[in-house]
Structures are given as C-alpha cells and as structure tokens.
Amino acid sequence: MVLLDALGKRWTLRLLWELNQSWPCTFRELRARCDDISPTSLNNRLKDLRELKLIELGESGYALTEQGQALSRLLEPLDRWANQWAKNFDSN
C-alpha cells in the first residue's frame, strides 16, 4: 500500500512519466515539462521519490534509479491505454 499511496500524491505519476520519456533532467527543466509546477511542490515530490530510491540526483540532473526504471516501464502500458481512452472519451 506504501507505494500505491505515494504514487497517489499529486505530480508523482507525472514526474515518473516525464523522467521515463527522457532523463537525466534538471530541476528547472522538470518544472517546465510539468506545466511549470511550483518549485515547492516539485521539490517535495522529488524528495519523496528520492527517499523511495526511485530517482536520484546525479551530475547532470535527476535520473531514474534501476527501480525507478522498472516502475516506469510498468507505467507504459497504462499510458498507452490512457491515450486510447482519451480519444474515445473526448468524442462524446
């Protein structure tokens, strides 16, 4: 339940998704990619994700850890489904 609750926090899923698209990625770049999320919120979520050892801050920016990569990969089918679903949903 721990992880499920963590993922349920605002921006967490989005951050993992963005990082899965391309990483490493700087703090400021992440902000830009996430609809200019406030730095406060971004930092809080990054802290959470670092504590969970899903991401880490390296030389050239934030990066997915091994486990972060594994998790992100599981989100891909979800994302694909979501895109299909969005198409059908909008056309109502």
Partner DNA sequence: TTATGCGCTACATATTGTGTAGCGTCAATC
Partner DNA sequence: GATTGACGCTACACAATATGTAGCGCATAA
Cβ density class 30-49: b for 16+ within 10 Å, e for less: bbebbeebeeeebeebbebb
Check residue 20 for interaction with its own copies (CB under 8 A).
Answer: no
Q: Among 15-23, 29-37, 74-82, 84-92, which window interacts with DNA (CB under 7 A)?
A: 29-37
**Hey, what are 80's tokens?**
């694909």
Q: Considering only residues 37 through 76, tell me which ones interact with its own copies, judged by CB under 8 A.
A: 52-53, 67, 70-71, 74-75
Q: Among 15-23, 32-40, 71-79, 81-89, which window interacts with DNA (CB under 7 A)?
A: 32-40
Q: Among 14-22, 36-44, 69-77, 81-89, which window interacts with DNA (CB under 7 A)?
A: 36-44
**Hey, what are 31's tokens?**
């902000």
- In terms of CB distance, is 46 or 54 closer to DNA? 46
The helix (run of H) or strand (run of E) holding residue 70 is helix 66-90
**Hey, what are 9's tokens?**
């926090």
